[in-house]
């Protein structure tokens, strides 16, 4: 867990140094160290014998971290503190939705018990995508939000019940209902 603490301390020092040395690259590196530190601490907090649950928790924490970083960017902009940090924060929040989605699918692939964490990660990703849509005013992010909701739905469908080929119509019916 010491490496996670080192990442967090490095993140704090890099982000603090941007008050003097105004370079966006330092903001991105500071945020990358923040994410690495939080995810590393999440790695050590979870039980080592269940890789699927561990990866599910990491995915959920990444999605929640994306939400927290979006909130920080929005508060910074609304309070008029500095727009220097806004764009890097929003970019990292978007990248965290991608990483959390990949991790959630991979966690479910490793074990069926991780699907609840993956669904929570996808639901949080959908919320972050809608919030980014509202912030950036980019219609393409609506597709990302819909994708996250559909992925959460199918993660539930593929993880619950028993695999009965006679029930395969449920997948198509779900697709029709979601399309409507």
- Nearest-angstrom CA–CA distance, 41 and 37: 6
What pLDDT, on a 0 to 100 scale, did the predictor assign at position 103?
92
What pLDDT, on a 0 to 100 scale, did the predictor assign at position 144?
92
Burial (Cβ within 10 Å: 0-12, 13-18, ≥19) of residue 26: middle
Q: Which residues of the chain have pLDDT under 70?
A: 81
């Amino acid at each position: 867990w010491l490496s996670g603490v080192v990442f967090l301390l490095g993140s704090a020092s890099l982000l603090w140094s941007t008050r003097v040395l105004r370079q966006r690259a330092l903001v991105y590196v500071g945020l990358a160290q923040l994410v690495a530190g939080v995810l590393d601490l999440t790695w050590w907090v979870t039980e080592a014998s269940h890789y699927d649950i561990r990866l599910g928790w990491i995915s959920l924490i990444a999605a929640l971290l994306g939400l927290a970083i979006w909130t920080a960017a929005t508060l910074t902009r609304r309070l008029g503190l500095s727009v220097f940090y806004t764009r890097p924060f929003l970019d990292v929040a978007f990248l965290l939705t991608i990483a959390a989605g990949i991790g959630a699918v991979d966690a479910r692939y490793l074990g069926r018990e991780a699907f609840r964490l993956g669904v929570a990660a996808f639901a949080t990703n959908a919320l972050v995508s809608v919030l980014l849509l509202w912030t950036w005013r980019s219609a393409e992010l609506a597709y990302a939000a819909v994708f996250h909701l559909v992925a959460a739905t199918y993660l539930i469908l593929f993880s619950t019940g028993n695999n009965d080929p006679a029930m395969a119509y449920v997948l198509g019916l779900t697709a029709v209902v979601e399309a409507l």
